[in-house]
Structure 1
Amino acid sequence: MGWLGFDRPPTVILAVIASTFFVGFGGGVVFPILPNLGAVLGISAFMVGVILSANRWVRLVANAPAGAFVDRYGARKPFVYGLLIEGIATFGYVIALVMPPVESLRWVAEALPAFSIGSVTVGVEGWLLPIGFLVAPETWFVLARVLWGLGSAAVFATAYTIAADVSDSGDRGTNMGVVRGGITMGFPAGLVLGGIVSSLAGNAAAFIVAAGFALFASLVAYRLVPETHVTTAEEKSSVKPWDVDTSVPAVTVGLVNFGLMFAYIGALFATLVLFLGANDISLFGLDEQGTSGVFMAGTVISASVFMLAGGRISDTRESRTPILITFLVVSFFGFLLLARAGSTLDLALACVFIGAGQGGTSGPMMALLADLTPDDRMGRASGTNNVLGDVGGGLGPMVSLPLIETIGFAPIYAACAAIPLIAGGILLIGVRRETGSFMPGRVESDVAAAEPPTPDA
């Protein structure tokens, strides 16, 4: 039976897509709101970058244990619980917004007893500092993003592992593409929700709606996602933050992911709302938050379409390498267009190219990783890929936001154009070292994956 021109994915893949789609709202809702909200709440550009990056820094240490846990204990429970944690985390954004200003709680500090530290007596003002830290919006935003990072580490590790478990070399690219598409399609919905709902009903309303959908996602997973990653008792042992797959395929794919996430999430998504305000670009009468939500949604929709197309094309070719290089070049041109964008049309075209480049690499790249990785190490290999991707996505906002205030948008976006080309070189070197060829065949790759890893790996 055809499904949008393709063979219908297995039922478990459809269940994973549905779950990750709904939880993705909470991931996208913050980007149109938080960069602009910083000025309203008095949060510095650096602190906004820290908040946007916090979930990725948490995943930096959580991805490896999540992948190892999946390899030893199975995929169903961490997938369901990860979705539930993400739903709870989204409610943290609401708490951050309703926290009262610290000065309004001066009466609390006055009611607390004074205390002495040596010869210094600490009274009301001394209590205001810790109270201020506890009620500060940025504290609650960071806590929510930390919790989101823990949940998403489990979801990412399990989603790709489930897809690998139910795939072979003939449909692996397609299944990886649709799973990645499901993960990211919820993101543009969250971008639109965050931009439009916040403009019409307020920021808190946008966060509450996103949280409701995220909790619904965990219910979908609980009812519909079975166990696919069966392990034996002998394989089960404790998991450690450093228990990652350091094979050549895992590190190579992870480094490519690092570069793409640095430019895509770290530079484009973290700065777009500011770019729109600086260039007075808007759509449909929306402010910069609403407009950025629409543009980012268009970018991710483009990525999702080409995730499916790229994965499917790689399944019908002898080698996955050419399609990967092609889409990395597309991403290069997208950032060049972004650096020169001065109108709505220019920006829309740049977002489509960047999304196509990002999405077109995702399905084939994860399929290539699965081609070259034994089944019993796929969870850890996914963890390695996620760790390096999160380093890139975490560094991006912390680097790009302060630099844009200093040197402007165009130089940053132009520098990001070089990143996909560097990633392409790393990909070719890694594939050549692992397989002996720049364009290994898929059948040949599956044979290599079945063999024990070499000492070099």
Structure 2
Amino acid sequence: MSDSSPNPRRVVYAVVASTFFVGFGGGVVFPILPNLGEVLGISAFLVGIILSANRFVRLVSNAPAGALVDRIGTRTPFVAGLAIEGVATFGYVIAINSAVPEVWFLLARILWGLGSAFVFATAYTITADVSEADSRGTSMGIVRAGITFGFPAGLVLGGVVSDLYGNSEAFVLAAAFAAFASVVAYLIVPETHVEGAKESVKPWDVERTVPALTVGLVNFGLYFAYIGVLFSTLVLLLGAREITVFGLDSQGSSGMLMAVTVLAGATFTLGGGVLSDTVGARVPVLLAFLATTCVGFATLAVSSSIELLVVACFLIGAGQGGVGGPLTALLADLSPEERMGRAMGTNNVLGDVGGGLGPLVSLPLVQRLGFETVYAISALVPLLAGLVLVVGIYVHTGRLSPTIPESLG
């Protein structure tokens, strides 16, 4: 980055603002669509396909997005990605009023996946570009928190606004915020990654190094359990157990509980990033929060009251959030700057495999095995992710818990 580059803190906050507002569209669909599927005659399997479609699209677009960032820079893909997500969110409005809603919902989720591939690849790359090693965990935590805070706002919007005013109104409001996000990015977010012409790269040029694969596999486990299982089944759990929040129906209640989960995640994303910078090592912090996620799913498996559900959702959110900042900071610590876009793209690919498989697996399994069994199995996932983390880092560095200077070396 050149000496004339903008202030790093200003850049980070600009990214946070943009991703926060566009994040509404990511969350608004979850409290609405699972229940809406029955009304519209959409099967549980097809609902799972629709909810997962964006992640499957990112499977083939994350790597090209990361390679493109290393080739042309961050600003153009970032602004374009936000604009595409805004159009996708408006697609929900068309879907809800269409004679073939499943087609429009699927197209909207596909478009959302394409846009978000560019947003995620650029947001973290921008942050890595402007941050130093000893503050990288904090900076990554701030950006991840900004991205994450938009999601619970969408969950609340989707649950409460749809409950009070209607599904179309909830989607229209989310689309308006998404459009505003792209305007903010266009006016404020600068270029940070490329200063001159770069040689052409292949779109399948992804990182296959031990650090990239290790971090990506941890991301796979987290997204499988968190987005793939919890978010896809919570509304159904509330309906089956007749549990409500503030008298709302299952859609509104699930939106509130998902918001608790994601708000806890956003808060502990900040805490996890700061803590890893303070400790001077990422691995111990990551293992502690992975264990917290495990306890959260174990609690969810036996929850029969709103109080236990709140505790379970809080623990799951705190665990996955606390992992977020240190995990992306660890990837940035171990990746060369000129390959940062590819590294982030690879990480996103594996995360989306997990998030995409989750609904496809969890929705049918809940019908066959029950909620308790599915959540108990999910509690084992973060433990396996912790094992992968320790083994991968040891293979690469020769240490179980390298300090930040050692990880950079």
Q: Please classify the TM superposition score into its range, dividing by the shorter chain length.
A: over 0.9
Q: Which residue in 1 is equivalent to 2:214?
A: 252
The equivalent position to 1:375 in structure 2, one of 334, 337, 344, is 337
| TM-score, length of structure 1 as denominator length | 0.87
| 2:245 counterpart letter in structure 1 | L
| 2:265 counterpart letter in structure 1 | A
* Structure 1 position 99, deviation (Å): 1.1
* Structure 1 position 232, deviation (Å): 3.6
The equivalent position to 2:193 in structure 1, one of 211, 226, 229, is 229
Q: Which residue in 1 is equivalent to 2:351?
A: 389
* Structure 1 position 243, deviation (Å): 1.6
Indicate if the aligned counterparts of 2:300 and 2:313 stay in contact, CA closer than 8 A.
yes
Indicate if the aligned counterparts of 2:222 and 2:354 stay in contact, CA closer than 8 A.
yes
SS at match of 2:134: coil
**Is 1:63 aligned to 2:67, yes or no?**
no
Q: What are the within-5 Å matches in structure 2 for residues 309-388 of structure 1?
A: 309-388=271-350
Q: Which residue in 2 is equivalent to 1:436?
A: 398
Q: Which residue in 2 is equivalent to 1:296?
A: 258
| 2:15 counterpart letter in structure 1 | V
Q: Deviations over 1:12-64 (max 9, x none)?
A: 10000000000000000000000000000000000000000000000000000
Q: Which residue in 1 is equivalent to 2:156?
A: 192
Indicate if the aligned counterparts of 1:9 and 1:175 stay in contact, CA closer than 8 A.
no
Indicate if the aligned counterparts of 2:137 and 2:326 stay in contact, CA closer than 8 A.
yes
| 1:61 counterpart letter in structure 2 | V
Q: Deviations over 1:195-235 (max 9, x none)?
A: 000001110000000000001000000011000002542x3
* Structure 1 position 169, deviation (Å): 1.0
Q: Distance in 1 between matches of 2:242 and 2:202?
A: 50
Q: Deviations over 1:308-335 (max 9, x none)?
A: 0000010011311100000000000000
Q: What are the within-5 Å matches in structure 2 for residues 11-410 of structure 1?
A: 11-100=10-99, 136-233=100-197, 235-240=198-203, 242-410=204-372
Aligned pairs, number: 403
Q: Deviations over 1:326-375 (max 9, x none)?
A: 00000000000000000000000000000010000000001110111010
Identity of aligned residues (%): 65
* Structure 1 position 238, deviation (Å): 4.3
Q: Distance in 2 between matches of 1:332 and 1:446?
A: 30
| 1:341 counterpart letter in structure 2 | S
Q: Deviations over 1:246-285 (max 9, x none)?
A: 1110000000000000000000000000000000110111
Indicate if the aligned counterparts of 1:74 and 1:227 stay in contact, CA closer than 8 A.
yes
Q: Distance in 1 between matches of 2:243 and 2:308?
A: 11
| 2:71 counterpart letter in structure 1 | R
SS at match of 1:85: helix
| 2:174 counterpart letter in structure 1 | A
Q: Distance in 1 between matches of 2:312 and 2:25?
A: 25
Indicate if the aligned counterparts of 2:8 and 2:130 stay in contact, CA closer than 8 A.
no
Q: Distance in 2 between matches of 1:83 and 1:256?
A: 26
Indicate if the aligned counterparts of 1:72 and 1:231 stay in contact, CA closer than 8 A.
no
Q: Highest Rg: 1 or 2? A: 1
Q: Distance in 1 between matches of 2:263 and 2:216?
A: 23
Q: Distance in 2 between matches of 1:369 and 1:362?
A: 11
Q: Deviations over 1:375-400 (max 9, x none)?
A: 01110000000000000000000000
Indicate if the aligned counterparts of 1:71 and 1:231 stay in contact, CA closer than 8 A.
no
Q: Distance in 2 between matches of 1:277 and 1:264?
A: 19
Q: Which residue in 2 is equivalent to 1:132?
A: none
* Structure 1 position 97, deviation (Å): 1.0
When the two chains are superposed, the root-mean-square deviation of aligned CA atoms in Å is 1.0
| 2:307 counterpart letter in structure 1 | L
Q: Which residue in 2 is equivalent to 1:107?
A: none
Indicate if the aligned counterparts of 1:28 and 1:191 stay in contact, CA closer than 8 A.
yes
Indicate if the aligned counterparts of 1:335 and 1:417 stay in contact, CA closer than 8 A.
yes
* Structure 1 position 9, deviation (Å): 6.7
Cα distance change of structure 1 residues 238 and 440 upon mapping to structure 2, 3 Å threshold: closer
Indicate if the aligned counterparts of 2:141 and 2:269 stay in contact, CA closer than 8 A.
yes
Q: Which residue in 2 is equivalent to 1:427?
A: 389
Q: Distance in 2 between matches of 1:184 and 1:244?
A: 25
| 2:187 counterpart letter in structure 1 | R
| TM-score, length of structure 2 as denominator length | 0.97
Structure 1 consecutive aligned stretches of length 4 or more whose deviation exceeds 4 Å: none
Indicate if the aligned counterparts of 1:73 and 1:236 stay in contact, CA closer than 8 A.
no
Could you tell me which runs of 5 or more consecutive residues in structure 1 were left unpaired when the two chains were aligned: 1-7, 101-135, 448-457
| 2:392 counterpart letter in structure 1 | G
Indicate if the aligned counterparts of 2:8 and 2:131 stay in contact, CA closer than 8 A.
no
Indicate if the aligned counterparts of 2:23 and 2:151 stay in contact, CA closer than 8 A.
yes
